[in-house]
Amino acid sequence: MIDSDLQNFIPDLREVENLFNGGELKIRHRFSMGENKLVNTVTVNGQTYAYGNIVPEFTDKTVEKRYIKRYAKLSLYKALSKFTGKDMPWGALTGIRPTKLAYQQMEETGEFEDFFINVMKVSENKTDLTKKVINSQKGYYEKNDLNTDFFVFIPFCPSRCKYCSFISADIKHASRFVDDYVDSLIEEIRASAPLIKKLRSIYIGGGTPVALPNDKLTRVLKEIDIINSGVEYTVEAGRPDAINAENLAILKDFGVTRICVNPQTFSDKTLTLLGRNHTAKDVFTAYDLAKKDFAVNMDLIAGLSGEKFSDFQNSLDTAISLNPENITVHTLCVKKGSYLAEETDRLPEGEVENMVEYSHKTLQNAGYSPYYLYRQKYMAGNLENTGYAKDGKVCVYNIDVMEEIAQNVSCGANAVTKRVFNGGERIERIASPKDIQTYLNKSGDIIQNKLKFFE
């Protein structure tokens, strides 16, 4: 519980409190401002810590707010770190885009490492990871407000996986929506096409896009084909049990260049426990089918319920032995109160960190470089998700979305369309309803609002 006199920043301070699972601590935060100095006093269970920070003279209210928020969060982080004796890998950073912050800092001061390590208390390890990601993005990171990535969302899956934190419905239970969804989606894609300025990439995400019956998948791809100028084109096919020679042939015909074949783990025991309805062998079969025609990404998750370090190690080593272009290592993210939070054994502290560290070292030794990363709330160990690419074969879509440097025209339920101004200095967003039925009911308005949004 936190009590602060900076009422507007309480949600931000709670994010820091959550890093330490601090719900049971009694925290009082007081703020005062003198000439060029901010003072934050934090009392944790009766123990008081005070921090003073010299700041520049403020001429701009937004900058003033930014500094006040930054040092309040940082002071709370330092106090909680002292009180609990724990450091967090990303220090006081709570945002989902550490690299974006690093780029901003580089633009302002010419460097970010000193700021990360000495101001924000980010570990040297994570600062180094950020640096490597920025290096991998050279030649792809392009600030141009005309650049456009085109996204289409398919909210259906062959079944729901127990850990999944994304919006998607089991297609068996949602079959009544499929025809209408495809109709509305096609209408939205058609109406959105003129909003594309300079197409950088296309991404069909999910859910599991290839869970759609082949005739419906073909209709969606046909509509997208009109806008495709031969750019990077990803389909997050995803579930190996939904990938087959027929749907891959359709994807190939329509110029798809990259697909995901996601194991999550190569342990059959874990796959069954998580309700994924496929085996490790299915991953090999799907990968063999996909490899000859597409660049392939494989998603893995560190910290899955019931898995030990050796399980994760085996999954990572197996993925590397297959030699896909991209491997993305996610850290399990469990929302409080969710099935997994209640029903599963927690891993010993530090175990997920060991898995992530192992993946970082082993992937680099195998010739993979980290090229994008992001964080989420409720991540095990307060870690991150990192995408790795071999031989510089990065996914431009992932870079643009994480760094928010290109406009994103998105179609479908739960789609977020973004406009960027001045290389991402200002961003405007418009989101569609997450629920399929609401999306269908409002589809006409959604299109009109989107067109207006780009006026």
Ligand X SMILES: C[S@@+](CC[C@H](N)C(=O)[O-])C[C@H]1O[C@@H](n2cnc3c(N)ncnc32)[C@H](O)[C@@H]1O
In the complex, minimum distance from the CB of residue 239 to ligand SF4, in angstroms, rounded to a whole number: 5
Q: Does 299 bind ligand X (CB under 6 A)?
A: yes
- Torsion over CA: 70, 72, 76, 78 (sign): positive
Answer for the pair 235, 270: CB distance below 8 angstroms, yes or no: no
- The CA-atom distances, in angstroms, between 196 and each of 204, 229, 406 are 16, 11, 11
Q: Which of residues 209-238 bind ligand X (CB under 6 A)?
A: 236, 238
H or E, element range at 53? strand 47-54
DSSP letters along 159-226, please?
A: S--TT--S--EETTTSHHHHHHHHHHHHHHHHHHGGG-SEEEEEEEEES-GGGS-HHHHHHHHHHHHT
Contacted by 160, from ligand X, ligand SF4, none: CB < 5 to 8 Å by type: ligand SF4
DSSP β-bridge partners for residue 148: 199, 407
With CB under 6 A as the contact rule, the residue among 81, 262, 305, 410 that binds ligand X is 262
Is 278 among the residues that bind ligand SF4 (CB under 6 A)?
A: no
Residue 415 beta carbon to ligand SF4: minimum distance, rounded to whole angstroms:
15
Q: What is the rounded CA–CA span in Å between residue 405 and residue 144?
A: 7
Of 29 and 239, nearer to ligand SF4 (C-beta) is: 239
Cα torsion 322, 325, 331, 335: sign: negative
301 binds, among ligand SF4, ligand X, none (CB under 5 to 8 A by kind): ligand X
3-state SS assignment for residue 431: strand
Write each residue from 344 to 363 as x if it is in contact with ligand SF4 (CB under 6 A), else as -, in one continuous string.
--------------------
**Residue 188 beta carbon to ligand SF4: minimum distance, rounded to whole angstroms:** 21
Among 29, 132, 200, 239, binds ligand SF4 (CB under 6 A): 239
What residue 236 binds from ligand SF4, ligand X, none (CB within 5 to 8 A, per partner kind)?
ligand X
Between the alpha carbon of residue 316 and those of residues 86, 206, 294, 412, the distances in Å are 28, 23, 21, 33
Q: Quick one: which of 47, 95, 146, 166 contacts ligand X (CB under 6 A)?
A: 166
Name residues contacting ligand SF4, limited to 148-167 (CB under 6 A).
Answer: 157, 160-161, 164, 166
**Nearest distance from residue 317's CB to ligand X, in Å?**
18
Q: Do residues 29 and 2 touch, judged by C-beta distance below 8 A?
A: yes
Q: Where does this chain bind ligand X (CB under 6 A)?
A: 157, 163-166, 206-208, 236, 238-239, 262, 264, 299, 301, 330, 332-333
What residue ranges bind ligand SF4 (CB under 6 A)? 157, 160-161, 164, 166, 168, 206-208, 238-239
